[in-house]
Structure 1
Amino acid sequence: MRIGGTRNGVSTTKVTGVAATSRLLVGVAGCALAAASVVIPRSALSQAIENTSTVAATRQFSIPAQPLTDALGQFGRQSGLQVAFPAEVAQGLSANAVVGTFTPRDALARLLQGTGVSWRITAQGAVIVGGQTTDASDDGAVTADGSLLLDTITVTGQSERAASSGSGYQGTPDWVYETPSSVGVISREAIQSAPSRNARDLLDNVAGVYASRAEAQKPGISVNIRGLQDNDRVGMMIDGARQSFQRNGHGATQQTYVDTAFVRAIEVEKSGTSGAGSLGTLGGSVNFRTIVADDLIQPDRKWGVELNGTTGTNNYHFDGSLAAAIRLSDSFSVLGGVSHKNIGAYEVGKNGELRAQTTTATGDTFLFSGQEVLSTILKAEADITDDAKLSLSWVRNESDFSTGNYSTFLGDTMLLETKQNVVNDTFATSLDWNPHSNLVDLKARLYYNQTDHEDNAYVIDGVGRNYKMETPGGSIENTSRVDTSFGLLSLNYGAEAFRDDGKSNNPAVIIDGMDQTDYYNGGNPAGKRDVAGGFFNAKLEHDDWLTVQGGFRYDWYRASGSTTIYGNETRDIIQTIEHPEIPCRQPFPTRPDICIGGQPAWTEYVYGDPYYPRYGVNINRSDGAFLPTFTVAVKPYDWLQPFVKYSESFRPPTVMESFLNSGHQGVSNSYAPNPYLEPESAETWELGVNISKDALFKADDSLRLKVVGFYREVEDYIALGRTYNEDAARYYTSPVNLSGATRMKGVEVEANYDARAWYLGGTLTYNEADYPRWYGSGAGLGYLGAESSVIFVQPEIRVALDGGVRLFDEKLTLGARMTYVGKTEPTIGSLQNNYKLDDYTLFDLYGSYAINENAKLRVSVTNLTDKAYVSALGADYYAMPGRTITASLNLKF
């Protein structure tokens, strides 16, 4: 047996010679199961060997018109049969759509009709495509001893969303360009080809998506999609487990901690859906999917190991990982890995002008821009029955870093450093049950996430500040398929829920005799938020050209808890002194009206030290919303798919927004919660087109294109404003709802042409946002002015181009990338000047060389021209890295 490679996200295995039929079939099935993108059930294989009734039984098929290689993979998964064919047979060919209830034999005949490709189904239930017998009833050439003589064949298969790479931009899998919605994927290929200081460096490659650098000293990730970021407007997940940690600050508040070492793909959804994952979000989601055992174990092995090591210039010290997996039996595998990243403070670019950075830089070095990260993963996967698969995983990320700056006080300049430690644990379990029934395709998920943040800015008796967020949750969904006279009807329905439980455990802070503990707790306040919802979605596929999809979800939330705020400065009377009346003297008899020295009785008050009275604020608020979605997609040609989509979304206030209480400067709390805060809601329209074309100019080229225009209106957008608390009789800075609609519109383009010897791709993002300036909430109406925080707005334009060549039988790849980002100008706010940023253009070079099939060397040069710049959605005192050269080695065993 000789092992092939991976191309366009499809693993291939070549088999030559003569072997006993049973041994051949079992070996082929084992290889297929080990490939990351292969989904051919073991039960189907055993049934094919033991009982030919599998071929005669009818099944539900839903295979769109597409390249023949992908279509045969889907046929293998849906029929339960193994499919073998010579690799050259499928080149440049497209398959017909097959939608409805058929026997595998009839479905395959429809699939290949008009292609000129021969096929047969053997007595053992194997499908041979491209063999010499063209009679569909031929049972195959089986010799007397039970052996089957075959030419070189390719075993292939691919689950719709299982592939981690494909023919799209920077390896984006093909299913992205077949989905009638604005979705994006950062592939495993892109992750490994672009060593990054932080996972957020990769997210800018997706059209319409940026990662905020407004808290650039922190390794946490805050993602902006189409102008929406922070406070769960974008749902952040690891293997579907919600990451809800928020901490209020000058910049971005949402912080997700994840290392790319064990991420096989990053999936981005840019609008609402009537399915699992959209609960409580306003503008989409980002899901970091981790590696599985099949990513590490080669087809002919029981175990696999992958080593990665990266080092470079500009204090890129080391980033390395070790991952291993073992298949203990045909139905049980275990995976484990450890990763360590040690990156120092970087030097900023030297070519160009930057605004004053005296507070965060020493010479050309950006203060505290380094990090040390230790990540681990442990995962077990088991086929508990022939139809059910169970997965258990634990992903841990521990990040050590510092924040700080130079501060001048009374003429003295001091360096302020705060050492911080964040530990994120994500536990997830999933159960998939597909008994090959049209009515049952069940997926259940349970998870628990905890983020624990130690901040040593204020330490008492060796104990620093501690902020924690715990999020347990889960989902369950089922898909039923029914063949109607109008086409295949798929019904997806289910429910999901999670709880955010914020906790602050800080030492008591007593200053000048006053308890100011709550002053420090408020950045990540204590409180609970429960969010739950149910959903239903129906998709009708008529023939091979029309898809109509509609659904709804009902989302509900409740925020409950209490917090404490400070009132105005007060002084208690600790003593009163009564002064008696003093009669006046009349020294001038002739002038009785003149009185000297007289004084009426009076009381003298002696006041104690000033203090700030505390007032309790109770929050118990709930709300819900009915959220419809609707999509229509057509295929006038098998390579062209225009679509239109409408969706509504609903975001309840987070724990931080609901219970915010802390101070900014001075001893009194200047922030307070708003008990009258309303949830945000949005309507989004998308108009787009997918193009997925192979053999455009020659047999082995491919074109992938996705263009989407969108328009979104948000009601009750939440920003910081002013509210009045009647008990405390004072105004506070609080989250408020803006009055009127927030409007966002834009265009996103992602394209890639791959001619194998060379390739050219890129993205275009145009985004425009208009926010209202007025707000009204609770006891007052105000103007969004100098005391409001910045609302982060994407730059209007970004263009990225990426091209390269492949040499020496595609062992050597050389490429270059250009990125232009327009200027950034946030809304009115007291911090506006710090977040108003200039445009910039960056150039990168990269290359890779496959030493052999188990070793690859990669080299990259980022910021080739050593440009001095500040990243979009950053702060002007946080300049980005200058020229950095990295080298990586990937080894597989």
Structure 2
Amino acid sequence: MKQVRFHASTLLAGTAMALALLAAAGPATAQDATATDLQQINVEGDGNGDGIVDVPAGVSTADREKIQDRYAGDVMQVLRSAPGTFTREPADQPGITVNIRGMQGMGRVNSMIDGVPQTFSNLSGHGGTFDSLLYVEQNMLVGVDVTRGAVSGAEGMGTLAGAANFRTLDVDDVLLPGRDYGVMTSVRAGSNGFDYSRLLSGAVRTEMGEGEIGIVGALSDTKKSPYENGSGILYPNAGDQHPKSGLFKVNLSPNADHKLSLGGIWYGNEFLPGSSGYNWIVENQTYTAKYSYQPGSDLIDLSINAYLNITDLEFDGTNGNVSTFDGRKGTNTTTGFDISNRMRFDLGEETELKLTYGGAYSRDRYEGNAKRGANPDGTLVKAGVFSEATISHGIFDLTGGLRYDYWSLEGVSGYDAPGTNGCAAGGDPCPMETLSRDGGDLNPKVTLSARPLEWLQPYVTYAHTARPPTAAEMFYPGGHSFDGSSDPVNNNPNLVPEKSRGWEFGVNMTTDDLLTPGDSAWLKVGYFHNRIRDYITYDIDTDGAARWVNVDGTTVMKGLEVEGGYDAGRYYAGFSLTLADTKQPEGSAAGVGSDTGRLPDDFLTIDAGMRFLEETLTVGGRMRYVGKSKQAYINQSMAFDVDAYTLFDAHASWQVNENAKIFFNVENVFDTTYMKANSGLMDNYGGVKNGRGRTFIIGATARF
């Protein structure tokens, strides 16, 4: 397959085309801004309890204000501020790995950009990890939605622990209310390794027959340098990076019934992981096509989505390392589509039935060159059908769901080195036997919730989930494979899917006028208890070979998640708390080959502030507590202990007028020295605390 490469010229050409369409779109007519209709993870709200407090499940959401103003675009910390949600965060890797309830990597969490799964990973040493890596430029983000536990619909296909969807800029994020064309620009500058960040975007909306057309385009980049920790020591593995990104989207609505959205976002970055010895050149392309048909009928609410994601990796030895793996290339290509329909039936006597059903397909293909190392070529196909019905009667809602997920894997058992077993000398390694495996899982889900009081909603859920093995696990060649060949003894074609059986008990509470007239308060409390069988980890098999294996017995992960908030206009507060035991199995040489980290059992975030000048000026502070954790290394006795830490941040934003906003952030106000939890083996092995010291960031956004 021919690789599709992304360069700066691609970014500029694609985005310039979108901006040119802005100018060519013709005269516009005034219209109030409307909310973006998102199919993936149907959680609406602004992170202050709106929407999520009415969902009988573990869901959290963050809007643009929280991501960009309060957290200065640091979506890693935004994710860690949600209960039951964490990240793997090595200082030298900009890729995002989402951890939900102790599970991460290999598709256990479905991490998406605009609903498109991001499944890339580099397994073979030199900064590699078995975790999936999502690459997105921070300025492009306007929201992130997290679902913990079993996920309904296409987003839950083959996923074990939950899903996270990273939403990017759209037309209404750029335009001022009541405007049909405009430009938005944002710029930041800071200290301690935060050099600058900037965004330029434009959008237009105009009539098209009975409907309208909306177009948005954007360019963005962020420059970061090595930073000092709280002790003033320059962290050695936090290298330079300069991600660049471009985006365009076209939304077509010929009338009120039909809507078609086409989009593309590009990302490019070059960085040097401290343990790599090679520069990583990463280029990511994500394309979407979304169609919805909503004729106003209770029987038809149709959605059809298609997508393509291409992530390219290349090793560059220009930093002085021009040995074995200089010139390594690999491409991860994911294609897929899904279709679903929603129906509603009024059964009378306060009884209503809502039915959702559909199907989905995805194909994830990794291809490497002769220097692939331990990155095996292979293809994972997932397909499935799903349905979910909710019957509401009086104060009760009963939801029953059933899905069947099919999977198939194809790869090669290994490679003969040039000059061996009939493989031509002087050429590339030759593939051995092709292997294929397939299977399927039937996964039910049932939720019972009630509304005995207007402000109270208790619920209970029981669900099955399953994750098939990936090509990386089943066809893993073992070691570095320095000559580009692999040993089939390290493959494991007998792997079976991980299966989880889980309970969740929760309660949602919300009320207005709690302490003062016009205020609002909300609280979500949930307890989960998951039993996972056939957990896959890297270990010594019964024949003495090191490979990915299914663990005997049952792995139990359980915990309490609490999230809530209070807003009285003049002042506000929000918090999240996690108390959990999510210890996962550790195999041979844990942390060395698989870079396994162990989450802290407890972590807490509190954010509070006040608003002044008719609520145009917001001043707030945040406390982040992370409990003790471990970084796996060889065995239990050699594992690194990571101490608990408490950090304080400050933030402020001032909406000067309709057109301009100024914001200010201080990370780690007291310049605390600490080691970040779940940051990776090399960060711990280096012996230098990797937590960023006190950092100031100031910026402004203009819309006109």
TM-score by length of 1: 0.69
Counterpart amino acid of 1:372?
H
Partner of 2:294: 434
Counterpart amino acid of 1:464?
G
Counterpart amino acid of 1:289?
R
Q: Does 1:716 align with 2:592?
A: no
* Aligned partner (choices 84, 88, 109) of residue 234 of structure 1: 109
* Aligned partner (choices 72, 77, 80) of residue 201 of structure 1: 77
1:36, 1:162 within 8 Å by CA — same for their partners in 2?
no
Partner of 1:150: none
1:195, 1:310 within 8 Å by CA — same for their partners in 2?
no
Q: What SS does the aligned partner of 1:521 have?
A: coil
Q: What SS does the aligned partner of 1:190 have?
A: helix
1:848, 1:858 within 8 Å by CA — same for their partners in 2?
yes
Partner of 2:182: 304
d(CA) in 2 for partners of 1:732, 1:619: 19
d(CA) in 1 for partners of 2:84, 2:179: 41
Partner of 1:322: 200
Say if 1:833 and 1:868 are closer, same or farther in 2 by CA, change over 3 A: farther
d(CA) in 1 for partners of 2:80, 2:590: 31
How far residue 198 of structure 1 moved from its aligned partner, in angstroms, is 4.9
Partner of 2:550: 737
1:441, 1:480 within 8 Å by CA — same for their partners in 2?
yes
d(CA) in 2 for partners of 1:666, 1:675: 23
Partner of 2:571: 758
d(CA) in 1 for partners of 2:581, 2:279: 38
* Aligned partner (choices 389, 401, 410) of residue 259 of structure 2: 389
Say if 1:845 and 1:655 are closer, same or farther in 2 by CA, change over 3 A: same
Counterpart amino acid of 1:331?
E
Q: Does 1:697 align with 2:515?
A: yes
Counterpart amino acid of 1:864?
V
2:564, 2:576 within 8 Å by CA — same for their partners in 1?
yes
How far residue 771 of structure 1 moved from its aligned partner, in angstroms, is 4.4
Partner of 1:859: 664
Q: Does 1:349 align with 2:349?
A: no
Counterpart amino acid of 2:261?
S
d(CA) in 2 for partners of 1:746, 1:819: 19
Partner of 1:610: none
Say if 1:160 and 1:621 are closer, same or farther in 2 by CA, change over 3 A: closer
1:368-447 map, 5 Å: 368-404=238-274, 417-447=277-307
1:195, 1:886 within 8 Å by CA — same for their partners in 2?
no
Say if 1:806 and 1:198 are closer, same or farther in 2 by CA, change over 3 A: closer
Counterpart amino acid of 2:411?
G
Partner of 2:617: 812
Partner of 2:6: none
d(CA) in 2 for partners of 1:166, 1:270: 16
* Aligned partner (choices 448, 468, 471) of residue 632 of structure 1: 448
Counterpart amino acid of 2:667?
T
How far residue 827 of structure 1 moved from its aligned partner, in angstroms, is 5.8
d(CA) in 1 for partners of 2:164, 2:339: 19
1:650-676 deviations in Å (ceiling 9; x for gaps) = 101112112212424877857822111
d(CA) in 1 for partners of 2:69, 2:401: 39
Counterpart amino acid of 2:354?
S
Q: Does 1:294 align with 2:155?
A: no
1:819, 1:843 within 8 Å by CA — same for their partners in 2?
yes
Q: Is there any run of 5+ residues in structure 2 with no aligned partner, and where?
A: 1-28, 422-428
d(CA) in 2 for partners of 1:664, 1:637: 60
Counterpart amino acid of 1:443?
S
Say if 1:462 and 1:524 are closer, same or farther in 2 by CA, change over 3 A: closer
d(CA) in 1 for partners of 2:584, 2:44: 39
1:807-859 deviations in Å (ceiling 9; x for gaps) = 12112111111111111125673597465311111111111112112211111
Partner of 1:799: 604
Partner of 1:212: 88
How far residue 274 of structure 1 moved from its aligned partner, in angstroms, is 3.3
How far residue 524 of structure 1 moved from its aligned partner, in angstroms, is 2.5
TM-score by length of 2: 0.87
Partner of 1:222: 97
Higher Rg of the two aligned structures = 1
1:736-795 deviations in Å (ceiling 9; x for gaps) = 110000100000111111111111221111110354578xxxxxxxx8889875543210
d(CA) in 1 for partners of 2:414, 2:279: 28
* Aligned partner (choices 624, 647, 651) of residue 846 of structure 1: 651
Partner of 1:65: none
Counterpart amino acid of 1:867?
T
Partner of 2:352: 488
Q: What SS does the aligned partner of 1:663 have?
A: coil
How far residue 571 of structure 1 moved from its aligned partner, in angstroms, is 12
Say if 1:267 and 1:881 are closer, same or farther in 2 by CA, change over 3 A: same
1:35, 1:298 within 8 Å by CA — same for their partners in 2?
no
Say if 1:433 and 1:501 are closer, same or farther in 2 by CA, change over 3 A: same
How far residue 161 of structure 1 moved from its aligned partner, in angstroms, is 5.0
1:816, 1:846 within 8 Å by CA — same for their partners in 2?
yes
Say if 1:263 and 1:789 are closer, same or farther in 2 by CA, change over 3 A: closer
d(CA) in 2 for partners of 1:473, 1:615: 27
d(CA) in 1 for partners of 2:76, 2:650: 19
d(CA) in 2 for partners of 1:829, 1:462: 25
Q: CA RMSD in A?
A: 2.9
Q: What SS does the aligned partner of 1:231 have?
A: coil
Partner of 2:327: 464
Say if 1:827 and 1:684 are closer, same or farther in 2 by CA, change over 3 A: farther
* Aligned partner (choices 368, 374, 387) of residue 536 of structure 1: 387
d(CA) in 1 for partners of 2:201, 2:690: 34
The alignment of Structure 1 onto Structure 2 pairs a total of residues equal to 649
1:482, 1:490 within 8 Å by CA — same for their partners in 2?
yes
Say if 1:459 and 1:466 are closer, same or farther in 2 by CA, change over 3 A: farther
Counterpart amino acid of 1:822?
G
Say if 1:788 and 1:471 are closer, same or farther in 2 by CA, change over 3 A: closer
Counterpart amino acid of 2:670?
T
1:503, 1:526 within 8 Å by CA — same for their partners in 2?
yes
Q: Is there any run of 5+ residues in structure 1 with no aligned partner, and where?
A: 1-28, 40-158, 169-173, 352-362, 406-415, 507-519, 573-612, 726-730, 775-782
Partner of 1:559: 409
2:355, 2:389 within 8 Å by CA — same for their partners in 1?
yes
Counterpart amino acid of 2:135?
Y
Q: What SS does the aligned partner of 1:366 have?
A: coil
* Aligned partner (choices 92, 99, 120) of residue 245 of structure 1: 120
Say if 1:768 and 1:282 are closer, same or farther in 2 by CA, change over 3 A: same
Counterpart amino acid of 1:35?
T
* Aligned partner (choices 139, 142, 145) of residue 261 of structure 1: 139
Say if 1:571 and 1:263 are closer, same or farther in 2 by CA, change over 3 A: closer
1:43-62 map, 5 Å: none
Q: Does 1:837 align with 2:700?
A: no
Partner of 1:889: 700
1:790, 1:831 within 8 Å by CA — same for their partners in 2?
no
d(CA) in 2 for partners of 1:404, 1:430: 40
Say if 1:639 and 1:619 are closer, same or farther in 2 by CA, change over 3 A: same
Partner of 2:8: none
1:126-165 map, 5 Å: 163=44, 165=46
Q: What SS does the aligned partner of 1:686 have?
A: strand
Say if 1:504 and 1:198 are closer, same or farther in 2 by CA, change over 3 A: farther
Partner of 1:412: none
Counterpart amino acid of 1:889?
A
**Greater mean deviation of Cα atoms: 553-562 or 297-306:** 297-306
Say if 1:188 and 1:546 are closer, same or farther in 2 by CA, change over 3 A: same
Partner of 2:22: none
1:265-280 map, 5 Å: 265-280=143-158
Identity of counterpart residues, as a percentage? 33
1:14-33 map, 5 Å: 31-32=31-32
